[in-house]
Structure 1
Amino acid sequence: MPHRVVDFFRSPNDSIHSIKQTVQRHAIPATRGGSRERQRPSRTSSYGSSHDGVVEDDAVAPSIKLPESKSKEHHRLSFPILPLVGHKSQKDLAQNVSASLDWRIESGTAVMYGSPEESTGALVSGQLQLCVKDETFEAESLDAKLEIRVTQKKPFSTHCQDCTTQKTELKSWSFLSEPTVLKRRTHEFPFSVLLEGHLPATTDNHLLSIQYVFTAEAQPRDGGPSLKLHRTIDVRRSLPSPNMPHHSVRIFPPTDITADVHYDPVIHPNATSRFTLRLGGIGKHNANSRSVEYWKLKRLSWKLEEDISTVAPACQKHTPKAASGGNASETGNETKKGITRSDTRVIAHADLHSGWKADYCSAEGTIEAEVDYQTGGFPSRTASCDVRGHDGTQVSHRLVVEMVVSQEYAPLAHMRHVTPTGVARILRMNFAVVITDRPGMGVSWDNEAPPIYQDVPPSPPPYALDTIQDGTVEDLCLSSASSTHSSDSSDLGESHSTRPDLDVSVATRT
């Protein structure tokens, strides 16, 4: 059989169409006249399907020269589809026609307010919903868990799954620990978890990604496909913005130039911020030559830089034996070895050649400018919020301001006659800024919670026991009752004696 296949592919003058005609001519039985009917095969017929890929010896003889086909049509060899026994798609394995899993989050957006040292965390609560579609559904177990997954995009070992993804379980729930029969309806199982304030926020950059993954699984009793639920929780961090902008003063020796900068230390992603700049000491008067030397601002540029640093830990299999094989990062009481990955990229920048006010004729000379900058300068480079974790992960930002100044000379009488001295300098400043999410209308969960019993102030003082035993309360009640009785009797029986007094008093006054 192998030599036939070789001969089939080596014949340069034969075509698929001529071979099919020859095979069908030999396969049809002879007619009464002893001649064979030559029938043109249908274009839809398949050579491989009719003969199962086997060519008889008398079908293609070496002495017979097959005619060359005039048609230049290309035909494909179709092979029968082999049935795969027991094969099911991934979609069929993941679905169960008897029931389904879903969830409903009752709490708001998970936002941690304040720094990792001061934040009390975020509260997440919701309902896990098991919808039964049949009359009854018997579940063996129903479990759920919440874990934080850190995916290293440049792991310690490239093709190792354990080095790429690190999972840390935060909390687990066991809703059904024994076989339970559930009727047709939507069964709800409440869950809640407090995310501690030191945990990092959700982030995704070119070095790593941090996600909070909620997974649930229900195992049927009859051994059918299990019900699985996979959801992610977006956890954010919001730092309070100061009421006043930060003020920074910089001096650039050996010149006398000083820079006063007011900027916002806390900014938000995809937002516009502003910083004000004032340069002083740029001019110097020469009384003898009645001239002035000053530094002229040629270009003002700003850029936002993002610094990302993380430690790609090694799994147990790829952990180097020697301590010098990699850097060690401490996570709680556990020490892990890995490689430090760091990168710096520019997420926004701009160059300005005008737009500021300059005064070169005054005693010292000043330059004032107000610059607006945006965090979303490049659509492909989305700014990540600041992150600081205990495992060595850190994302920080800084605002870099560069100024190009050149020294010029001009007489006081003719300030337009400018003569450059050929001296130029680059003045550079960088300021640490924090990119954080907006707080919105929410506050920390501990400020929204009602006070507990221990926080309630003391109630009013109770009555002492000795006061009740002495009969003070009873005497007070008897005296009030007697006074009420006397007042009623005086109004009824002594009305004639009280009215003359009133008349006398009135007469006396008149």
Structure 2
Amino acid sequence: MDHIKRPSLSGLTGKRHSSRDRSKDDAAKGKQKRADSPLIHGQQANGAPSPASRPAKAASTMSIVIESPPNIFFGTPTQSTGALFSGQLRIAVVEPEVTLQTFTMQLLATITARKPVAKDCPECAKKTTELFKWTFITDPKTLRAGDHSFPFSYLLPGHLPASTQGMLGNLEYHLDARATTRPTPSKGAEEITFRHPLPLSRALMPAPEKNSLRVFPPTNLTAHVTMSPTIYPIGESTVLMKLAGVTEKHEDHQQRWRLRKMSWRLEETEKMVSPACPRHAGKVGGEGRGIAHEDVRPLGQMELKEGWKSDFDDGNIEMEFRIRPSGHVRPLCDVDSPTGLSVTHSLVIELVVAEEWAWTKRPGVATPSGAARVLRAQFQVVVTERAGLGISWDEEQPPMYEDVPASPPLYPQSTAPERSTSTSHPHTAGSATPAVARAAAAMNGSGDMTPVVSAMGATQRPPMERRGVTTEYDGPPLYSPSVVPQAVPALNMGGLNDALPRDEDLEDIDLGESMRRPGPPSHRNSAS
């Protein structure tokens, strides 16, 4: 066995990487061949692209700055006043100067059908409508190097449907800006384009709860449901339900329905009409028609077998539960577009009740009759975005001139009240007392008090001193009973003045010793 030699691996070591070595040799040969061959069009000797083949740098670029808040329509399409949209379209010029011949921007609405009439037809799958157009320049305009801003604004109508991306169709809004430069001897005309998406949403303001009634014939059962008319994609809503007519009483027994199971389901219904282009109108029976599609998907559901209160004496079953969309599903907001796309939501409640009877004397012992029913009720709900603290644009702006209400009546332009120089005192006007009249007449013999008033008004007013500071008093006299503003009406005592005792009669009245209040001893002595 010595003449048999085992094969060694030394002879195979040189062939282990033979394929790799061949690839290296081929690469080296190819590189040498390319180096010896003439230059390939558009490349240099080192393989880099030549300057002629490099893409030309754009002479100008566009960008947009949105200055207005998010575009949210508050209220229903018939009540919303729209949303203000404003911003600035900027052009950054790289070259020393660029001359623009046209510069416009369009607001476009695009509806896309996921199931078009013709599968490979772009006209059947997508339709674009122009809503508004801005024309920034009407004549050629030269722009120097730098940034240039062009402001724009628009009031988005409130009836526009919100942006939607559904299973059957999409509804999107975007801005499309285009500018055309003037051709030069070195290069031709250049078109600068810019596209920016513009999402629109709708938010309904919180509304009072809605009460609904459902009747389930041939039984006497009725369901009273109280719930909010709107729900939100993120969050939950409370539903109150009362089932009445549960018990039917007889003389010796009673028949009643017992609730065995309750389940709710939140469904989303999406409908889309795929229009046909003029070339494929024959497939749907004529131009202007389309194929209707419908898709229903559950957003959330729950099944309950307890958690309600049964009162068979009053014949009522009451319960409270919460509904909300599932976390792994992205619900769509309600949309009703004239282009054929609509999204609606509904709450479906199913109740399984079983009939049983019991003796009147022993209502706690019930016997099932074997009959059962499934009660199903459907309620329309609206899924909308949260309004938050936002308000409509017409409530934010200051009032217009025509909206300002009428001002209150102006006060008459009158000076300070004049001091009265009348000869009559308020107590002397009309039916004044005889004693006051005689006293007034005795002042000057004719009843004229003008000299007396003038003398009192002409007296020098005393200065007012306070904490060592002397201030000249410039007000009315400190005491002037006869100086009264004319606006003060005269007192009319009527016949009461005649009943009062006169001044000369006061001395003759003797009140009696018993009614007089004793004064100090000195006063009594001086009086006596």
TM-score (norm 2): 0.66
Shift of 1:180: 2.9
Please tell me the residue identity of whatever aligns with 1:377. Answer: S
Match of 1:230 in 2: 195
Please tell me the residue identity of whatever aligns with 1:299. Answer: K
Does 1:446 find its partner at 2:394?
Answer: yes
Q: Distance in 1 between matches of 2:479 and 2:390?
A: 75
Does 1:294 find its partner at 2:256?
Answer: yes
Does 1:371 find its partner at 2:321?
Answer: yes
Shift of 1:129: 1.2
Question: Would the aligned equivalents of 1:96 and 1:226 in 2 still touch at CA under 8 Å?
Answer: no
Shift of 1:442: 2.3
Q: Distance in 2 between matches of 1:370 and 1:84?
A: 78
Q: Distance in 2 between matches of 1:311 and 1:271?
A: 31
Question: Would the aligned equivalents of 2:164 and 2:171 in 1 still touch at CA under 8 Å?
Answer: yes
Q: Distance in 2 between matches of 1:116 and 1:203?
A: 15
Match of 2:165 in 1: 204
Match of 1:265 in 2: 229
Match of 1:383 in 2: 331
Match of 1:347 in 2: 299
Does 1:420 find its partner at 2:372?
Answer: no
Shift of 1:430: 0.7
Shift of 1:456: 4.5
Match of 2:281 in 1: 319
Does 1:306 find its partner at 2:268?
Answer: yes
Query: After alignment, is 391-400 or 443-452 more displaced?
Result: 443-452
> Residues 472-495 of structure 1: CA distance to partner in whole angstroms, max 9, x if unpaired?
x9xx99xx9xx9xxxxxxxxxx98
> Residues 414-473 of structure 1: CA distance to partner in whole angstroms, max 9, x if unpaired?
5664432211100111111111122222222233333444445567999xxxxxxxxxx9
Q: Distance in 2 between matches of 1:113 and 1:41?
A: 73
Please tell me the residue identity of whatever aligns with 1:154. Answer: K
Secondary structure in 1 matching 2:278: coil
Query: After alignment, is 432-441 or 176-185 more displaced?
Result: 176-185
Question: Would the aligned equivalents of 1:151 and 1:164 in 2 still touch at CA under 8 Å?
Answer: yes
Question: Which ranges of structure 2 fall in alignment gaps of 5 or more residues?
Answer: 1-13, 44-48, 422-453, 462-476, 482-528
Partner of residue 175 from structure 2, selected from 200, 208, 214: 214
Q: Distance in 2 between matches of 1:432 and 1:454?
A: 41
Shift of 1:317: 1.5
Query: For residues 14-29 of structure 1, what are the structure 2 equivalents within 5 Å?
Result: none
Q: Structure 1 residues 50 and 382 mapped into 2: Cα distance closer, same or farther (>3 Å)?
A: closer
Q: Structure 1 residues 503 and 256 mapped into 2: Cα distance closer, same or farther (>3 Å)?
A: closer
Secondary structure in 1 matching 2:219: coil
Secondary structure in 2 matching 1:162: helix
Secondary structure in 1 matching 2:395: helix
Q: Structure 1 residues 84 and 400 mapped into 2: Cα distance closer, same or farther (>3 Å)?
A: farther
Question: Would the aligned equivalents of 1:96 and 1:225 in 2 still touch at CA under 8 Å?
Answer: no
User: Superposition RMSD on alpha carbons, in Å?
Assistant: 4.1
Question: Would the aligned equivalents of 2:105 and 2:176 in 1 still touch at CA under 8 Å?
Answer: yes
Q: Distance in 1 between matches of 2:260 and 2:244?
A: 16
> Residues 96-131 of structure 1: CA distance to partner in whole angstroms, max 9, x if unpaired?
454321111111111222222222222211110112
Match of 1:358 in 2: 310
Shift of 1:219: 3.2
Structure with bigger RCO (C-alpha 8 Å, 6+ apart): 1
Does 1:284 find its partner at 2:243?
Answer: no
Secondary structure in 2 matching 1:46: helix
Please tell me the residue identity of whatever aligns with 1:365. Answer: G
Query: For residues 117-196 of structure 1, what are the structure 2 equivalents within 5 Å?
Result: 117-196=78-157
Q: Structure 1 residues 373 and 495 mapped into 2: Cα distance closer, same or farther (>3 Å)?
A: same
Question: Would the aligned equivalents of 2:456 and 2:480 in 1 still touch at CA under 8 Å?
Answer: no
Q: Structure 1 residues 504 and 345 mapped into 2: Cα distance closer, same or farther (>3 Å)?
A: closer
Question: Would the aligned equivalents of 1:275 and 1:371 in 2 still touch at CA under 8 Å?
Answer: yes
Shift of 1:287: 3.3
Secondary structure in 2 matching 1:421: strand
Question: Would the aligned equivalents of 2:274 and 2:340 in 1 still touch at CA under 8 Å?
Answer: no
Please tell me the residue identity of whatever aligns with 2:260. Answer: K
> Residues 258-289 of structure 1: CA distance to partner in whole angstroms, max 9, x if unpaired?
1111011122222201110111121233432x
Question: Would the aligned equivalents of 1:295 and 1:406 in 2 still touch at CA under 8 Å?
Answer: yes
* Higher Rg of the two aligned structures: 2
TM-score (norm 1): 0.68
Q: Structure 1 residues 48 and 241 mapped into 2: Cα distance closer, same or farther (>3 Å)?
A: same
Question: Which ranges of structure 1 fall in alignment gaps of 5 or more residues?
Answer: 1-16, 22-39, 54-79, 327-334, 463-472, 484-493
Match of 1:436 in 2: 384
Q: Distance in 1 between matches of 2:271 and 2:297?
A: 12
Q: Distance in 1 between matches of 2:320 and 2:261?
A: 14
Q: Structure 1 residues 312 and 500 mapped into 2: Cα distance closer, same or farther (>3 Å)?
A: closer
Q: Distance in 1 between matches of 2:479 and 2:386?
A: 82
Match of 1:32 in 2: none
Please tell me the residue identity of whatever aligns with 1:419. Answer: T
Q: Structure 1 residues 167 and 500 mapped into 2: Cα distance closer, same or farther (>3 Å)?
A: closer
Q: Structure 1 residues 317 and 418 mapped into 2: Cα distance closer, same or farther (>3 Å)?
A: same
Q: Distance in 2 between matches of 1:503 and 1:193?
A: 69
Match of 1:396 in 2: 344
Q: Distance in 2 between matches of 1:503 and 1:220?
A: 88
Secondary structure in 2 matching 1:44: helix
Partner of residue 250 from structure 1, selected from 210, 214, 232: 214
Does 1:409 find its partner at 2:357?
Answer: yes
Q: Structure 1 residues 424 and 497 mapped into 2: Cα distance closer, same or farther (>3 Å)?
A: closer
Q: Structure 1 residues 367 and 134 mapped into 2: Cα distance closer, same or farther (>3 Å)?
A: same
Q: Structure 1 residues 144 and 292 mapped into 2: Cα distance closer, same or farther (>3 Å)?
A: same
Q: Distance in 2 between matches of 1:184 and 1:409?
A: 92
Secondary structure in 2 matching 1:185: strand
Question: Would the aligned equivalents of 1:96 and 1:227 in 2 still touch at CA under 8 Å?
Answer: no
Match of 2:427 in 1: none
Shift of 1:247: 0.8
Please tell me the residue identity of whatever aligns with 1:44. Answer: K
Q: Structure 1 residues 205 and 83 mapped into 2: Cα distance closer, same or farther (>3 Å)?
A: farther
Q: Structure 1 residues 505 and 130 mapped into 2: Cα distance closer, same or farther (>3 Å)?
A: closer
> Residues 122-176 of structure 1: CA distance to partner in whole angstroms, max 9, x if unpaired?
2211110112344434434322111100011111211111111110001112223
> In percent, how many aligned pairs have the same letter?
34
Q: Structure 1 residues 505 and 110 mapped into 2: Cα distance closer, same or farther (>3 Å)?
A: closer
Match of 2:26 in 1: 46
